[in-house]
Amino acid sequence: MTHTIEQYIAECGDHVLHAFSALPRPSKKLEDWKFFTHTEWFESKWNISTVYEVTPDFIHSQLQGIDYDSLVVFHNGEFLMQYSKISDFLKISNQEYKPIFESKSLTQLDIVHTANAKHGVNIRIANTEQSNHIVLLSVVSGSHTLCTASHTIHVEADTQCTITEIIVSEANATESLMLSGTQLICNAGSVCEYTSIQKLHKTSSIVQNIAVMQLQETTATVHAYPLSGAYNRTNMSAYKQGTQAHTNVYGILFPCTDEHIELYTNIYHNVPECETNEQIKGLGKDNGQGVFSGLIYVAKDAQKTRAAQSNKNILLSPTAKIHSKPQLEIYADDVSCNHGSTTGQINREALWYMQARGIDLHKATELLLEGFINDVLETMSNEQVQAYILSHIDTKIAEI
Amino acid sequence: MLHIQNLHAAIDGKEILKGINLHVKPGEIHAIMGPNGSGKSTLSSVLAGREIFEVTQGEISFMGKNLLDLAPEERACEGIFMAFQYPVEIPGVSMTNFMKAAIEAKHKYQGTEPPSPTEFLKKMKEKRAMVGLPDKLTGRSVNEGFSGGEKKKNEIFQMAMLEPTLAILDETDSGLDIDALRIVADGVNQLKTPNNAYIVITHYQRLLDYIVPDVVHILFDGKIIKTGDKSLALELEEKGYDWITKS
Ligand SMILES: Nc1ncnc2c1ncn2[C@@H]1O[C@H](COP(=O)(O)OP(=O)(O)OP(=O)(O)O)[C@@H](O)[C@H]1O
Ligand SMILES: [Mg+2]
C-alpha cells in the first residue's frame, strides 16, 4: 500500500500529526531549503512498509574491501542483526531516539524522519586498546521507497574510535527517499573520526542529519561525502559542551548530471577554548548543482575560540553551479576566526603544462582534480575508506 | 629534423609570427636572440602545440611528420620538449606523480614497456643529482613553492627524464645564479648527442659560453632578420639590437 507523507503521518498518531502541522514544509521560502524544490516529495505516493529481500552477498559487495571490527547493517532503515557483526566493545540497544539538541529550524521533514522511532539503534562504544573501526551500512531497496533511520552513538570517555557510515541504494530503488540521522555523543577525552558516505542511484534522494555533541577535551572529525543521488543533502551540526572540544569538518561535493548535492554545516561554540577547522571542496559538472552553507557561531562566552573555514570550488562546465555561503556569527571578542571561499575554473595553464610533457588532456584533468581534492581526502586516517571514496570520485572524473 | 617554412601565427587575430623559416639538423644547437616581445616564446609555444595560437600560414615538419597535425601531448611523445620561460605551478600534483604520468604517456605512445617503480625512482634520483635539484622538491607539488631558479632547474630535470629529440629552452638561463647556470649548462651538454638538437632562447651571451651554438638567429617583430655563427651573439652583446634593426 502506498501513502502520501501526510497519510503516513496521520497513521503515526495525533501527537505526531500535531507536531507535523505546526512546522513549515521545506520550500524556497526557507533560507536553508531555498536551492531545491521539495514539493514533489509531499505529493508523491510512497512505499513505506513493503518488505524487500537483501542478500548477504549484496551487502558485502557494498563494502568494497573496507575492513571493520564491527559491522551494523540496516535495510530500509531496519536493523539486520543476522548480517551484522558486533564486537565485544560495542553495546547495541533499541532505546528510543531523542534528539540531543533541538534545532531552531525544524521542518516537517524532521517529523517524518523521527516518526518511526523503531528504526535505528543506540550504540555505545567502550574504551578499548584494540583497533576500533565500526561500519554502519544502510541499504535502500525498492521503487518509491520512503525509509527512515535514526541512530545515537555514545563514545565513552577517553575512547578512540573510527566510525564509517555508508548509505547505498540498490539499482531498484528508483525515486526513493531516505531520511537518516546519526547523532554522536563524544564523552570527555574521546577522539572520534566519523565518515558519512551516501552513494545513491541517480533518481534516489537522501537527507542525512549528523549531530555531534562534544564534551571537554574531545576531538571529533567529521568527513562528509554525499557522493551521488538526485538530491543528496547532509546537515551537520556540532555543539561544544566542554572546553578544548575540537571539531574538524572535511567534505567534498561533486554534483554531476542532474544531481543536486548540498552540505549544510552549523558549528556552535558555546564554551571557551574550542577549535574548529573546516575545509570543503566542490567540483561541479554538466548541470550539477551544489550548495555549501557553513555557519560557525561563537557565543559571547566562547572566548579564545579558534575557527577556520575554507571552501574552494571548481566548475567544469558553464552550466554547473555551486552556491557557497560561509557565515561567521561571532559575539565574543577574544577569538581568532577566518573564512574564505573561492570558485573558479580548471587551471588551463596547468593543463597546458602537462600536455606539453606528453600527458593527454584526460589524464591531465584527472591529475589536476585529484590534486585539488587530495588535501581534504588525505585527512582521513582510514586508507581503505579513502580509496572507496576516491574510486567513486574518479569514476565521475573519468566521465568528463 | 625540424623544418619551419614561412610560419605565420596569430593570437586573437593579432599576428605575432610573420613568416619564420628555420631548419635544424640532428646534433645542432641553435640560439635565438631578440628583443622583448619579438615572438621568441610564441615560436616555442607554437612548436609545442599551444592551441591558443592560430597558425595562419606555413608548415612545420619534424622527423618527417607534419607537426601541425599533432596534439601537444603527441608532439611531446614524438620527442619535442619545451622548457617553459615561466614554469607553471600545479598545486596538489606531486613531482613524482607528474613525472610518472609523463614517462608512462611516452611509453604508451611508443608502445614500449614503462620502467618499473624502482627503475623510475632510480632515474629520478640520478637526473636530480645531474641538474642539482634539491631532494626535498620532488616530494612537493609541481613547481609549488620552488624558487625562480629551482623552477628553471626543474625544467632541465624534466628534460633529462624525458630525453627529447628536440629541446627548446626558453630563457632557461634567466633567474639562475652563476653556479646554477654552469650546472644546467653541463647537464645540457651531457645530454647532447649527435641525434638530438637544441633551440636555445636567451638574452645573454653568457649562456652561449657554456652551451656553444652552431647557429645564432635574431628574431625581430615575428621574423628572423639575421642568422650567423656564435660571433653574432658577441656582436649583439656589444652593439645592442639597433645596428641590425635600423639598418
Ligand atoms: N597569450 C597572449 N595573448 C596576447 N598576446 C600575446 C600572448 N602571448 C604573447 N603575446 C604577444 O605576442 C608578442 C610576442 O610575445 P612573446 O612572448 O613571444 O615575446 P618574447 O620574444 O618571448 O619576449 P621576451 O623576451 O620578453 O620573453 C608580444 O607582443 C606579446 O604581447
Ligand atoms: Mg619569451
Judged by CB atoms within 8 Å, which residues 330-359 of A form the interface with B?
347, 349-350, 352-359
What is the tens place of the pLDDT at every residue in A236-270? Answer: 999 999 999 999 999 999 999 999 999 999 999 99
How many degrees, rounded to 5, is the angle at CA A210 between CA A218 and CA A24? Answer: 135
Average pLDDT over residues A144-152: 94
- Computed over every residue of chain B, the mean pLDDT equals 92
CA–CA distance, A313 with A323 (Å, rounded to integer): 9
- Whether the CB of B11 sits within 6 Å of ligand 1: yes
Contacts of A189 (CB under 8 A, 6+ apart): A157, A158, A159, A216, A217, A218
Q: Are strands A321-330 and A191-199 parallel, antiparallel or unpaired?
A: unpaired
Residues 6+ apart with CB under 8 A from A85: A68, A70, A71
B170 lines ligand 1 (CB under 6 A): no
State the pairing for strand pair B197-201/B2-11.
unpaired
Query: Residue A325 — pLDDT band, cuts 50, 70, 90?
Result: very high
Closest residue to A358, CB basis, from B50, B73, B93: B73
State mean pLDDT over B13-21.
94
CA A71, A74, A79, A82 dihedral sign is: negative
Answer yes or no: are the C-beta atoms of A333 and A301 closer than 8 Å. Answer: no
Percentage of chain A exceeding pLDDT 90: 86
- Name which residue leads in pLDDT, B134 or A200: A200
Confidence of residue A1 (pLDDT cuts 50, 70, 90): confident
Question: Across residues B150-155, what is the average pLDDT?
Answer: 92
Asked if the model's pLDDT at residue B64 lies above 80, the reply is: yes
Q: What is the Cα–Cα distance from B42 to B160, expressed in whole angstroms? A: 23
Q: Which three cell numbers stand for residue B18?
A: 610573420
Contact A355 B72 (CB under 8 A): yes
> What value does the mean pLDDT take over residues A126-148?
92
φ and ψ at residue A87, rounded to 5 degrees = -80, 170
pLDDT of residue A51: 79
Of B46, B53, B45, B60, the C-alpha closest to B6 is B60
Minimum-distance CB partner of A357 among B89, B91, B102: B102
- Which atom of ligand 1 is least distant from the CA of B39? 18
- Mind telling me how many Å the CA of B48 is from chain A's nearest CA? 6
pLDDT at A229 over 70: yes
- Can you give the pLDDT at residue B187? 85
Mean pLDDT, rounded, of chain A:
94
Q: Which residue has the cell 579558534?
A: A306
CA of A152 to the centre of ligand 1 (A): 63
Query: B45, B88, B107, B166: which to substitute to probe chain A, counting the most A Cβ within 10 Å?
Result: B88
Q: Does A361 touch chain B (CB under 8 A)?
A: yes
Q: What is the pLDDT of residue A400?
A: 73
Counting one residue from chain A and one from chain B, the pairs whose CB atoms sit within 8 A come to: 79
Whether B143 lines ligand 1, by a CB cut-off of 6 Å, is: no
The pLDDT of B20-25, averaged and rounded, is 95
- CA–centroid distance, residue B203 to ligand 2 (Å): 10
Query: What pLDDT is stored for residue A377 in this prediction?
Result: 96
Identity of the residue in A350, A358, A363 whose CB atom sits nearest the CB atom of B90: A350
Q: What is the pLDDT of residues A190-210, one digit of tens each?
A: 999 999 999 999 999 999 999
The pTM assigned to this predicted structure is 0.90
If pLDDT is split at 50, 70 and 90, which confidence band does B162 have? very high
Gap from A321 CA to chain B (nearest CA, Å): 23
* 8 Å CB contact of B102 and A354: yes
pLDDT at B247 over 70: no
Dmax (CA) for chain A in angstroms is 69
Domain that residue B197 falls in: 2-245
Q: Do A358 and B97 touch (CB under 8 A)?
A: no
**Phi/psi of residue A253, nearest 5 degrees:** -115, 135
Q: Which of A359, A361, A373 sits opposite B101 (nearest CB)?
A: A359
- From CA A178, how far away is CA A170, in angstroms rounded? 12
Q: CA quadruple A46, A52, A57, A63: dihedral positive or negative? A: positive
Nearest to B101 among A349, A363, A375 (CB): A363
- Looking at CA atoms only, how far is residue B43 from chain A in angstroms? 14
CA A76 to chain centroid, in Å, comes to 17
Ligand that comes closest to the CA of residue B47: 1
| Interface predicted TM-score (ipTM) of this complex, two decimals | 0.95
Number of structural domains (chain B) is: 1
Which chain B residue lies closest to A376 (C-alpha atoms)? B92
Euclidean distance between CA atoms B30 and B230, whole angstroms: 9
CA of A5 to the centre of ligand 2 (A): 67
C-alpha dist (Å) from residue B196 to B24, B164, B173: 10, 7, 20
Return the pLDDT at B243.
78
Chain A residues close to B93, C-beta within 8 Å = 350, 367-368, 370-371
CATH number of the CATH domain containing B20 = 3.40.50.300
C-alpha grid cell, residue A270: 558555546
* Contact flag A349-B98 (C-beta cutoff 8 Å): no
Atom number of ligand 1 nearest to Cα B85: 27
Residue B237 pLDDT greater than 90, yes or no: no
Q: Is B36 in the pocket of ligand 1 (CB under 6 A)?
A: yes
**Measured from the CB, is residue B86 less than 6 Å from ligand 1?**
no
Ligand 1 in contact with B13 (CB < 6 A)? no
Which residues of chain A does B89 touch, with a Cβ-Cβ cutoff of 8 Å?
350
Verify whether the Cβ–Cβ distance B92 to A371 is below 8 Å. yes
What's the length of chain B? Answer: 247
Q: Is B38 in the pocket of ligand 1 (CB under 6 A)?
A: yes
Give per-residue pLDDT as tens, B81-105: 999 999 999 999 999 999 999 999 9
pLDDT digits (tens, 9 = 90+) for A75-133: 999 999 999 999 988 999 888 888 888 887 899 999 999 887 678 899 999 998 887 89
